Each structure stands twice: as structure tokens, then as C-alpha cells.
Structure 1
Amino acid sequence: MIYVIGFLAQLLFSARLLLQWIMSEKAKKVVSPSIFWKLSLLGSYLLFIYGWLRNDFAIILGQLISYYIYIWNLDKKESWRKCPVVIRYVLLLTPVAVMGYMFKDLPAFVNQFFKNEDIPLWLLVFGSLGQIIFTLRFVYQWLYSRRKNESVLPLGFWLISLTGSLIIVAYALYRRDPVLILGQSTGLLVYSRNIYLLQRNK
């Protein structure tokens, strides 16, 4: 059941990339469609739960950083306020509630996530580094888009995506995590293609 949640999350992430790629190819330039951000938010929600169930802090950390940036982009696309109010509150408050629950017993949290026998500390640091780099692409995208006052996916976003993804694939191979391996491997082609499209349009 845990893997089903993880694979469903990665399916949503792969679908967002595929749709963004198809729409970019049609437009002959890199585009930032609303569906990309909707699928990102749903995938992130599920992957956050997957990371929690797998006791994998690297996954949880990666989702926390980008989660609210997806919401910001949906708001910029004027799609966020079109969601029913109840769904918006559930999406906004779930990560906060889960983190509150996890941190209420800090020693148990540290034992569960940082003293996990399945994940040595060096591997957790390596995986977390990959997730941080991978997630910083959305921080970069958010800062860039704020400056432009529109939701865009610039070159730096795709370069950071490629770098972070390669680290996560290495982490996933060591962890033998089929969810991360499949999810990250499928994105490598799309990241490379978007870099090519942006460079060609220059």
C-alpha cells in the first residue's frame, strides 16, 4: 500500500512533466501551464505521506520546501481560488498538522528519522542534499517568477532539476527505492529537452 501511494505520486509528477513537455513542443518554447502546478501539488501531497510512511526524512524535507511554492504558482495562474474552500484548507493545513504531530515528541522523531538502521546517517545527508538541491529549483523558480510577476520555468530551473535528480537517482539506487528510481529517471529526458529548447530559443 505504501508503494502504491509512492508510485501514484510519481505518476502525477511524470504526468506533469509529460504535459509540460508536449505543450512546450507545441508552443516551440518552454511554457508553465496550470496543469503542471496542479499535478505538482497533488503529487507532492502524496509523496509527503509516502515519505512519512517510509520514515524517510529526505523525501519529507524535499516536499515541504516546494509544496507551498506550487500553491503560489497556482495562485499566480488564478487557479488556486477556483478550488473549493474546504479543499484549499485541507491542502494548506495537512503538512502543518503532520509536522506538528511529528515534532510533538522530538526524541521519538529523531529516533524514527535520524537513527533509522535502514538509512545510515551519511546516506540520509546525501539523500537530503539531493532533495534540497532538487527542491531549490522551485525556490529559484519562485524568486525568478516574482521578479517577472508571472509564473515561468526559466533555464536555471531545469539545470537545478537535472543536478538534483541525478543525486536522488544515486540515493534511490543505494536505497533500492523503486518509487524514487522510476520517478526521477523519467524526468531526466524532459529536463534535458527543456534546456535544449531554452538554449535554442536564445
Structure 2
Amino acid sequence: MQASPVWIYVIGFLAQAFFSARLLYQWIVTEKARKILSPPAFWILSIFGSYLLFVYGVLRDDFAIILGQVISYYIYLWNLGVKGIWKKIAMPFRFLLLFTPVAATLFLLRDIPAFTATFFQNRHVPFWLLLFGSAGQILFTFRFIYQWICSRQQHESVLPVGFWVISLLGSATIIAYGIFRLDPVLIIGQLFGFVVYVRNIMIGCAIGKKVAA
């Protein structure tokens, strides 16, 4: 596999640092409350992490990473709206947050043959590996679609047990993809999440048993 410049990995690790920070914070407040919480800081840190990881995916010519971020990014923004934070953000920054992924995607698609050659005919990323990585990202991203559906049903931002179960399965797939890609950002970034995912599942199941009893 082709090695990327160190500064590109720095962007990737910084993105993963934001994702790890959101999980750590959510874990701490959940442990204190003894129930699964969806704190505003979780979604704010998600935006920063997603923004940077999208850039990282573009720089790494990695369609699987880009695909995963585009979908979840706008769900993060929706949760900020539910939390009442979106309206507090200055209009220029709202515009920037809303349209940066769109502008970047349009930029990538400005030359379809070049886009296809870079992302789907990349000799450093076999097509089977691209499909595997994309499947992992889709599964990992589906957790936020699931979260969005559950939140709309309950009329508030929540992180249900199913969210963490899907996170665990998607994370395992992405780690496997990262190993094939020799991508330390994906591997290290996902490992920390395993502990938080399992712990939230344990807390959620314990609460579910108490309710059932």
C-alpha cells in the first residue's frame, strides 16, 4: 500500500481524537447518571471529528471513509438542532458547516473520469477491499440512521442500546479494513471505542432488565 505524508496522518489522528473525546465524555456522564445519555458535547465533538475525517478521506483517496462521513455528518447537525445548539451558532458558521461537505463532494465530482480512476480504480486499494471497507462504513453509519429514527420517535436526542450494538459490529469491520489498508488512523481510532460500546450495552441492558422486572 502507498504510504501517505505524515501531515495527512496528523489530520486523521486529530479527527479520531475528537471522536475518542466524545466517547470518553459520553461514557463519563453515563456512568455518573447510571443511564445512557446523549450530551450536547457528544454531537459538537462529532462535528469536529467528522469534518476532519472527511478531509482525511479525500487526502487518502479513500472513498469508504468519505462515504461514511457524508451521511453521519448531517445527522450530527440534526442532533445539534434537537439539542437547541444549532440556532445559537452564528449564521456564517452554520453556512460553513452545512455546505462544506457538499462543496467538497462537487469538487471531487467535477471530473468524473478522474474521480472514478482515483477512488474506484486505485491500484493501492483493490476493488474488493473498497467494497469491504464501504460495507463497514455503511454499517457503522447506519447506527446514526438508527439513532435518528429512534430520536424522532421519542422527540428527543437519544443513544439507544441498538446504536451501541451496531457500533460494535461496524467498528470490528472497519478495524479489519484498516488492517488491510495498513491505516493506523482507522485501527487505533476504533480500538478505544470498543470499550465504550460494550459498557453502554451493559448499562442499557441492565436498565432494560430493571424496567422489565
TM-score bracket, normalised by the shorter chain, equals: over 0.9
Code of the aligned partner of 1:37: W
Q: 1:165 aligns with which of 171, 180, 195?
A: 171
Q: Which residue of 2 aligns with 1:30?
A: 36
Q: Larger Rg: 1 or 2?
A: 2
Deviations 1:68-126 (A, max 9, x none): 00000000000111111111111110000011111121111000100111110000000
Q: Which residue of 2 aligns with 1:81?
A: 87
Deviations 1:124-171 (A, max 9, x none): 000000000000000000011001100000011001000000000000
Code of the aligned partner of 2:183: D
Code of the aligned partner of 1:25: E
> Is residue 137 of structure 2 the alignment partner of residue 131 of structure 1?
yes
Q: Which residue of 2 aligns with 1:120?
A: 126
Q: Which residue of 2 aligns with 1:6?
A: 12
Count of aligned residue pairs for this structure pair: 202
* Identity across matched positions, percent: 60
Structure 2 unaligned residues grouped into runs of 5+: 1-6, 209-213
Alignment of 1:50-89 (within 5 A): 50-89=56-95
Q: 1:45 aligns with which of 40, 51, 59?
A: 51
Code of the aligned partner of 2:82: K
Distance in 1 separating the partners of 2:119 and 2:102: 18
> Is residue 193 of structure 2 the alignment partner of residue 187 of structure 1?
yes
Shift of 1:195: 0.2
Distance in 1 separating the partners of 2:36 and 2:162: 12
Deviations 1:27-48 (A, max 9, x none): 0000000000000011000000
Q: 2:110 aligns with which of 104, 110, 113?
A: 104
Distance in 1 separating the partners of 2:113 and 2:122: 13
Runs of 4+ aligned residues of structure 1 deviating over 2 Å after TM superposition are: none
Shift of 1:60: 0.1
> Is residue 21 of structure 2 the alignment partner of residue 15 of structure 1?
yes
**What RMSD, in angstroms, separates the aligned Cα atoms of the two structures?**
0.5
Code of the aligned partner of 1:120: P
Code of the aligned partner of 1:100: L
